[in-house]
Amino acid sequence: MLSHHCEKTKTNIIEACTEFFALDGRAFDVTRGVGFQNLVKILVEVGQLASKSKFEVTDILPHPTTISKSISRFYCIIVDQWTETHTGTSYCGVALRYATDDFQLFTFILGCFPYNAASHSAQYLREFVNKVLAEYKLVLGTTKISVTDNEAKC
């Protein structure tokens, strides 16, 4: 049986995970992933080592561009555009997908952004995607491109 202190800690972790899922739009099973569990293990170790000193959490978390530089494998960019029918606002979602050497597939959502370009043509979409990728110091290749889309919904 867990002590009261352990029960309180577990309750705090459940609440923090729930807030993480809700605020950051993450899947509930993220906590089952080996990568997430490794991250928690490292953070607990850092907390134990630094228990005597004060620091901000943001001081130890890497910037998204630092993470993107660590992805040295081939990656694929997934782009989805749509227009919200009630307001007429257009959006563009951009995600990065890559496979590890042992064929594990990973997807990272870079964001969902308002899309205000002059048109939804390939030229404007490419410029938009290039700007998003530049924020993460990523570059879309120029030799192999494939674009698919459903027909416009009227």
pLDDT at 145: 60
Nearest to 138 by CA among 102, 108, 114, 100: 108
Look at the chain and count its residues: 154
pTM: 0.50
Residue 16 pLDDT grade (very low, low, confident, very high; cuts 50, 70, 90): confident
Q: Residue 32: what residue type?
A: R
Share of the chain above pLDDT 90, in %: 12
38: Cα within 13 Å, side-chain hemisphere:
3
Q: Identify the structural domains of the chain with CATH numbers, from first to last.
A: 4-61 (1.10.10), 68-135 (no CATH)
